[in-house]
Structure 1
Amino acid sequence: MMGRMDVSEVLLPGVGLRYEFTTSDGQHIGVVAHRGGDFEFVSYPAADPDEVHLLFRLTAEESDAITEILGAPRIAERFADLTREVPGLSSGQVEVTAHSPFAGRVLGETRARTRTGTSIVAVVRGEEVIASPGPDQILRAGDILVAIGTRESITGVERILAG
């Protein structure tokens, strides 16, 4: 069994989260997870963590592909961690029932973010996790939407999906 890697997380107000770790060969790596879904991968010398070197950027779509490859189920864990760090921010799970007017329709038609301020950060469909779903993601009965917002705004998403 492999040991747990030491990854530090730093909240970047207005930006997102930065994850930092040291690789087995001594490289210092950072991943900045922007609130909009984009990621920046950076490296920096141990002696001066302010001297950041951009390695590459990934769009939300590109990061979705990598997330699925590397273990999408962990994304919900990370957002739960974020909600513990930011007062007033909550995470919740909202089911798309068979009776929902949005079953079989695309996520964007719900206008959930516009109407409530809640972000849908993942769709859990059985064993599959669709990270950072786009507005064209088709919702199916039984899907669980992982939502980030206030408790009230998540309740608003539940009302929207219920019709």
Structure 2
Amino acid sequence: MDVNEVLLPGVGLRYEFVNQDGDRIGVVARRSGDFELAVYGGVDPDQAKAVFRLTGEEADVLAEILGAPRIAERFADLTREVPGLSAGQVEVLADTPFAGRPLGESRARTRTGASVVAIVRGEDVIPSPGPETVLQSGDVLVVIGTREGITAVERLVRG
């Protein structure tokens, strides 16, 4: 999909793409940190059909909502492209040794060769969690590695 980027002097940047219905979707990233989203009809790109504004925080929430379901899809695509690489999910249960402790204490990558690339916590996604990220009961770890490595992370986290 082609995304056009247009500099708006004194305002910010506008990103545009055309969806499958032929509508032009525009996102203005303002220098203030706010965002403006607009849908333009294919006939007259100067007439917006709908416009709404988001603060930076609201834009982050929207990005998480739109991006979270796609994380698993993208990792699945990656594992199809790289032989021997798999993606898995490991739930952190309440009675496991690492619930309430930082991810780094598990030394999961060092011990298993598999990497925790994201944590799904309720409706939120924590991409690329650092070693200081405290694991909570109910977290779902998104793990990339060999099947054996993913199984080893599951055994490690569950004790």
Alignment TM-score > 0.5, same fold: yes
The alpha-carbon distance between structure 1 residues 124 and 137, as it changes in their structure 2 partners (threshold 3 A), is same
For 1:157, the equivalent position in structure 2 comes to 153
Asked if residue 105 in structure 1 is aligned to residue 98 in structure 2, the reply is no
Whole-Å separation in 2 of the counterparts to 1:121 and 1:76? 11
Helix, strand or coil: the match of 1:83? helix
Helix, strand or coil: the match of 1:134? coil
Whole-Å separation in 2 of the counterparts to 1:112 and 1:119? 7
Whole-Å separation in 2 of the counterparts to 1:76 and 1:67? 19
TM-score by length of 2: 0.60
Q: Which of 116, 122, 127 is the matching residue for 1:120?
A: 116
Alignment of 1:11-160 (within 5 A): 22-24=2-4, 70-71=63-64, 72-73=67-68, 74-160=70-156
The alpha-carbon distance between structure 1 residues 68 and 110, as it changes in their structure 2 partners (threshold 3 A), is farther
Deviant stretches of 4+, over 4 Å: 66-69
Larger Rg: 2
1:153 deviation in Å? 0.3
Specify every segment of 5 or more residues in structure 2 that has no aligned partner in the other structure, as ranges: 7-58
Whole-Å separation in 2 of the counterparts to 1:123 and 1:134? 10
> Percent identity at matched positions?
64
Q: Between Structure 1 and Structure 2, how many residues are aligned?
A: 104
Cα deviation code 1:33-54 (max 9, x no counterpart): xxxxxxxxxxxxxxxxxxxxxx
Whole-Å separation in 2 of the counterparts to 1:162 and 1:152? 15
1:68 touches 1:129 (CA, 8 Å); kept in 2?
no
Helix, strand or coil: the match of 2:99? coil
TM-score by length of 1: 0.59
1:69 deviation in Å? 6.0
Whole-Å separation in 1 of the counterparts to 2:60 and 2:96? 29
1:75 deviation in Å? 2.4
Specify every segment of 5 or more residues in structure 1 that has no aligned partner in the other structure, as ranges: 1-5, 7-21, 27-65
The alpha-carbon distance between structure 1 residues 69 and 119, as it changes in their structure 2 partners (threshold 3 A), is farther
Helix, strand or coil: the match of 2:155? helix
